[in-house]
Amino acid sequence: MDRGGGRGAGGGGGESVSVLQRRRQDSAIKNVKLSIDAKNFRVARRFSTALNSKDGSLDEGEGGGGATKRTGERMHAATALNEDVAIVDRLLNRVSRYVVVCWAILVIFSYWIVPPGSIRRYSGMEWNAALVNLLLLTTTVLVKYMPLLWDIKLKDMSAPSPASDGRRTGTMMVGRTQISGILYGGLVTQFIAVMTVVIMVAFPVPVMIDPILGSKVNLIRWCEWTPLAGYMTLMTECIDAPEYSGGKLTQAWRKKFEVSGLMSLSTICGLVFPFCTNLYVWVVVMTFSFVTYSAIIVRYFEKRKLFRLWVWSGGGSVDEIELYERARMSLTLHGVCCSIWTLITVQYFVTSCGHLIVPKTWTMLHDPAAMMIGECTMDLISKCLYMSLIVEAHQAAFDEVRRANRRLSELRNAMNVVWENSSDCIAISVQKVSGSTSSMVSPSFFRSALVAGKEEMIQNITAIVLEHSSLAVQSHQSINEPFTNSSRMKESEVPNVGIKIVRKDTFAGVDIHYSGNDDDTFECVGSENEVMTCHVASITEILAQAWQIKEDEIMFDYETAAEDESIRTKFEVKVTRLEENAIVMVVRNVSEKYRRFEAEKKFVFESTARLKDAQANRFTRHEVKNGLLAAIEICGNVREQLSEPVMSHESLLSNLENMTELDRTLHDILDIILAETMARDVIQGMYVPRMECIDMNDILGKTNGFGLNNSRFSLVCSPSPMPIIVSDKGLFKCIYGNVIRNAIKYGKLGGKIATEAKYDEATGEFELKVINLPGRGHDKLVMMGKRASELVFSHGTRLHNDTHANKQSYSAGDGAWIIRNCANILGGKVEIMFEPDRTVFLFNAPMKIHRPSFDVDKFHLPPSVWGIAIDDSKIQRKLLERFFHHAGVPATHQIVLGQNSDEISGFVNFVLDLVKSHPRSFFFLIVDENLEMDDGDASSHKIISGSECIKQIRTALDPEQEMRMLALVRSANDSPQDLALYRSRAHGYMQKVPLRGISVRETVSRFWTERFPPKDGGNQGGDNVENSITRKASVENIRDLTLISPVELLLEVEDIDSFCVQNFDNYPHYHSELWEKIIRLKGDLKTVNVDEKFTPTINLIETIGRETELSDFMTIWLRIRSDIVSFVSQN
């Protein structure tokens, strides 16, 4: 027993505690003052903490720290007390089996050891005494135990009702639980006693004569008493309260087993006496029996002395009351055992020795049935008294239903004021030793179900009591995973849950232990009230989640939805663990708050989107305006310099600089517009990929200005260098640019970022990895696992906090979502992995290597082809002339229209007349989509569709004439709707892009061969692929064979001039780099060497070697430079 704990309980019996104050925003309660017992304060303090909102407070009086310490001790004691009860139950259940086996063995042994003549039936008074003993004992057992067994094990099921669609309804007892070890031991004791008397009444039994005393010895009776003496003593010891030692509750098991064993040894001597024919042996056995029997008397006075030290005033917590009751019941049982068994000893000597002392006139003592009558009388008295005390001990300390009820009552009394006035749902749940749980829930959670079930006035109901058979195994979810409607518990999966409605008039004395005669039945879930079924399933899932929590306090969200997903209810659940087997929950309906938050979030999102659109529009307008103004200024400078009568060398260099700046400015404007339109189309799901040749090494090495010369960035390619890939350059740059920015933004500050690119030619799969070191909050992302990877690519989701001491920014969380959309358009997939020491972004997509056919160089349009183009822009008309020239259209067959309104309005008739007048010629038409007619008169302003003109031309021509025509629409508008319109009216569509060398012939050859397939099955510039093409040839196709204009040649010359001036003093050191620039210039000159004008210049370049001296190099370079400048001046 916990003697120290007993003194503490007595000392704190009448103390009072300080005031509990709490603030609730959504409650009418401003200050709740609870004056409760000092031991109950520890529970109430934890409960009040659980109810406090985030901005609430809890003021404690002096000694708050001590209260916290005592709470921890009490919580540990409660845990040990439950463990002690569980240990006692397991021990007594196991020992009871051994007791039954030992009794059976002794009975069989008694029949075997006695002579056959000593086995006889009882008759006369002996048989009558045994029969009366059997009847009275059996009746007492049934009266005492049957109500308990009925409450614990049985379940009355009614017939299916029509309203329940054939489902069975009925009552379910909350007290349905395991039988405690104490009660089970009492049943085993009574079973052995009853079966012993049955054998004595119904069968012949071994009866011997004591050779010393000359009295009858009923061996069957001693076979019963021998195991039961030790077992009953052991149960008495197990009922005793455990001792508090070393910070935990322990039992003196060795002493308990010693006393129990001594009692069995003392009793077994009764079987030995009939076989002791020698007086001295008989006396020794009797002495041994007395000595061993005295152990229980010594133990009784020892426990009595210790119990008197326990001064208790009747107050205290449930645990302390239970410890006191166990100690009291154990002492009482010990006293009963000592008294009754001492009387049995006295009865033994009176009935066995009385006839040797008193005269025969004492006929009762000389009657042969005196021994049987005495034994039956004392056995009946001892079993009935023991049985009553065992049932009382079971109900006081070992019945888990009543233990749970007492805990709920303790918590309920401590929280009565808060329970009645709180607007939130409050639930108290207590777990039993068997694993089942009893929960008391405030009626606010079931309000709609109670109304739907037409219960009495809701204000008359104060609580709903629920009983779950095994709540711990009902939930298959983790607390880190959100609830979803698809994973919710279905109605058919709802376990048997006992429900009891507690009314205010019975709240003070409510007992969750069900009685078969109780009017307030526990209804089983699955009855006619479907709303109640739904609410019970929800509270069951919430309780299941709560019992999985190991922390002292935690909060999580729970969401429930109707079958059609029309009504969704969101709850905020705060769980506080009061003890190891008791929790309190506060369930708050935050649906309205959540809907308000979602509305505010949507408003902020839309406002931010509009603001961002406005900012993007302002940015685009600003950049485009500045770019165009800069271009206009550059053109003005060039015009002034060209107006000079004689152009000096400085004027020429200034013109080159102006043209370079103009080219860069115009390309920047184009990139801004294309990137903006591409982003909008990707977000709206309207983007169609534009496949082109892209140099991965250039993009991966220079994206966003982070070149490889920065030691922070590294690039590894396989194969190295990467081949030229056919893909959408804009989409790929968007993916890679966003990934690099995220790695810089969310990775380790200043940490290294590695890019790994791999192309598998066998599978045609391109793989990109971007690896960065972990940044702030990385450990939380690792703990989230795959869930974090899924959330990263969700729309409007941000997993990082951008705001810290030195940085304030806002991110909509759409970057990764746009990346995924871009990858999907390319037919690929993206993935991000948060590993403990790094973050890895992975992008995979099918891509093809650009393998231009050698036949492109051999492709030529037919000599009779006519090239007809129309555009309202003067610059575009010049570009189209160059396009026809490099496509191979003879200069005499080139017609470019659109200079005025007459050419635009008469374009259809002009083409029709030309086609009909040349019946053996082919016609190649390139028509701008938007042809603007404006001769300075606002009334004559009109826009004509070029694709509509092509449609009119094709419709007017007969099939044979139309078969000789290739008509293409050229436009900057390339949305899916526009492309579908162009292809329905014309033979194809051409983008408005800068003209690039051999790409002209590749483009023309593709359209031409599709329109006019070769008769011999060959390919005149189609898609024939030669596997032997190397990357070097591919790079030449997109760079060295680019159409080089005179301005571009001057830019290269200027670049070499600047390099020579800057590195004049270190010529040997930079000679190799200068040599590479000279070789690149040589390749460009070969590209434009159409009329062999640059052959002498190319030969001069070939005379320059890697070992050429500086003086010789400068002489040769000046001649080369003079030839190039002369060519530019002439053109």
What is the chain's alpha carbon radius of gyration, rounded to the nearest angstrom? 50
Query: Mind giving me the DSSP string for 956-967?
Result: HS-HHHHTTEEE
Whole-number pLDDT of residue 1034: 40
In a domain, 44, yes or no: no
Average pLDDT in the 437-458 region? 72
The pLDDT-based confidence of 895 (bands split at 50, 70, 90) is very high
Specify whether 878 is located in the same domain as 1016. yes
Q: How many domains does the chain have?
A: 6
Residue 1 has pLDDT above 50, yes or no: no
Whole-number pLDDT of residue 14: 35
Q: What are the residues facing 560 on neighbouring strands?
A: 569
Q: Cα angle at 469 between 466 and 470, to 5 degrees?
A: 115
Largest CA distance in the chain: 169
Specify whether 208 is located in the same domain as 227. yes
- Pairing outcome for strands 691-695 and 713-718: unpaired
DSSP one-letter code for 936: S
Contacts 24+ apart (CB under 8 A), 249-258: 249/2, 249/77, 249/80, 249/81, 249/83, 249/84, 251/84, 251/87, 255/299, 258/295
Distance (Å, rounded) from C-alpha 364 to C-alpha 358? 10
3-class SS shares of the chain: helix, strand, coil, % to 5: 55, 15, 30
Picking from 537, 560, 589, the residue at the C-terminal end of a domain is 589
Which of 694, 788, 775 minimizes the C-alpha distance to 736?
694
Of the ranges 114-118, 334-338, 519-523, which one carries the lowest mean pLDDT score? Answer: 519-523
Residue 787 has pLDDT above 90, yes or no: no
**Is pLDDT larger for residue 924 or for residue 1063?**
924
Average pLDDT in the 106-132 region? 88
Judge contact between 1020 and 1013, C-beta under 8 A: no
Which residues have C-beta within 8 Å of that of residue 599, sequence separation ≥ 6?
none
Residue 78 has pLDDT above 80, yes or no: no
The pLDDT-based confidence of 327 (bands split at 50, 70, 90) is confident
Which of 344, 265, 342 minimizes the C-alpha distance to 300?
342
Distance (Å, rounded) from C-alpha 970 to C-alpha 947? 9
In a domain, 165, yes or no: no
In a domain, 108, yes or no: yes
Q: For 711, phi and psi rounded to 5 degrees?
A: -65, -15
Distance (Å, rounded) from C-alpha 114 to C-alpha 179? 39
Judge contact between 695 and 724, C-beta under 8 A: yes
Specify whether 732 is located in the same domain as 639. no
Picking from 849, 880, 898, the residue at the C-terminal end of a domain is 849
Specify whether 378 is located in the same domain as 437. no
Q: 877 exposed, middle or buried (CB, 10 Å; 0-12, 13-18, 19+)?
A: middle
- Strands, E assignment, 366-478: 425-431, 437-441, 461-468
The SS3 of residue 14 is coil
In a domain, 389, yes or no: yes
Give, for 212, the enclosing helix (H) or strand (E): none
In a domain, 922, yes or no: yes
Specify whether 247 is located in the same domain as 264. yes
Q: In this structure, what token pair is assigned to residue 649? A: 């060398």
DSSP one-letter code for 241: P
Of the ranges 32-36, 71-75, 731-735, 767-771, which one carries the lowest mean pLDDT score? Answer: 32-36
Picking from 802, 820, 849, the residue at the C-terminal end of a domain is 849
Specify whether 655 is located in the same domain as 803. no
Which residues have C-beta within 8 Å of that of residue 364, sequence separation ≥ 6?
370
Contacts 24+ apart (CB under 8 A), 357-360: none
Average pLDDT in the 392-412 region? 72
**pLDDT per position as a tens digit, 926-980:** 998 888 776 655 556 678 889 999 999 999 999 899 999 999 998 867 777 788 8
Q: In this structure, what token pair is assigned to residue 192? A: 């052995």
Specify whether 876 is located in the same domain as 1004. yes
Specify whether 1095 is located in the same domain as 970. no
Q: Which of 97-111, 502-516, 714-728, 926-940 is most confident?
A: 97-111
**pLDDT per position as a tens digit, 414-437:** 666 667 667 788 888 888 766 778
Report the mean per-residue pLDDT for the chain: 72
Whole-number pLDDT of residue 103: 93
Distance (Å, rounded) from C-alpha 473 to C-alpha 476? 7
Residue 914 has pLDDT above 60, yes or no: yes
Q: Cα angle at 807 between 804 and 809, to 5 degrees?
A: 100
- Helix and strand tally (H, E) in the chain? 36, 28
Domain holding 973, by residue range, is 855-1025
Cα separation values, 1081 from 47, 654, 665, 1096, Å: 84, 21, 24, 14
Specify whether 365 is located in the same domain as 415. no
Place of tokens 């709180």: 422
Judge contact between 783 and 839, C-beta under 8 A: no
Which of 476, 654, 587, 600 minimizes the C-alpha distance to 1054?
654
State the CB neighbour count (10 A cutoff) for residue 941.
12
The pLDDT-based confidence of 370 (bands split at 50, 70, 90) is confident
Which residues have C-beta within 8 Å of that of residue 340, sequence separation ≥ 6?
378, 381, 382, 385, 386
Place of tokens 């040649």: 1049
Specify whether 411 is located in the same domain as 391. no
The SS3 of residue 50 is helix
Which CATH number is 374's domain given? 1.20.1070.10
In a domain, 929, yes or no: yes
Distance (Å, rounded) from C-alpha 567 to C-alpha 954? 59
Residue 1020 has pLDDT above 60, yes or no: no
Place of tokens 């301005």: 1047
Distance (Å, rounded) from C-alpha 795 to C-alpha 1091? 59
Q: In the chain, what percentage of residues exceed pLDDT 90? A: 9
Average pLDDT in the 607-622 region? 63
Specify whether 608 is located in the same domain as 720. no
**pLDDT per position as a tens digit, 1021-1050:** 333 333 333 333 343 343 333 445 566 677
**What CA dihedral angle connects 858, 861, 862 and 867, to 10 degrees?**
-160
**pLDDT per position as a tens digit, 288-319:** 989 998 888 888 888 888 888 765 555 566 77
Specify whether 870 is located in the same domain as 844. no
Of the ranges 19-33, 249-263, 757-771, 879-893, which one carries the lowest mean pLDDT score? Answer: 19-33
Instruction: Output the CA torsion sign for 170, 173, 176, 180.
Output: negative
Which CATH number is 988's domain given? 3.40.50.2300
Q: 910 exposed, middle or buried (CB, 10 Å; 0-12, 13-18, 19+)?
A: middle
State pTM to two decimals: 0.40
Average pLDDT in the 644-662 region? 66
The pLDDT-based confidence of 797 (bands split at 50, 70, 90) is low
The SS3 of residue 334 is helix
In a domain, 38, yes or no: no
Which of 1047, 1031, 1001 minimizes the C-alpha distance to 694?
1031
Q: Which residues of 123-160 are buried (b: 16+ CB within 10 A; e: fewer)?
A: eeebebbbbbbbeebeebbeebbeebebbbeeeeeeee
Q: What are the residues facing 703 on neighbouring strands?
A: none
The SS3 of residue 35 is coil
Residue 513 has pLDDT above 50, yes or no: no
Which CATH number is 772's domain given? 3.30.565.10
In a domain, 678, yes or no: no
Strands in 691-695's sheet, in edge-to-edge order, are 691-695, 724-728, 848-849
Which residues have C-beta within 8 Å of that of residue 348, sequence separation ≥ 6?
270, 374
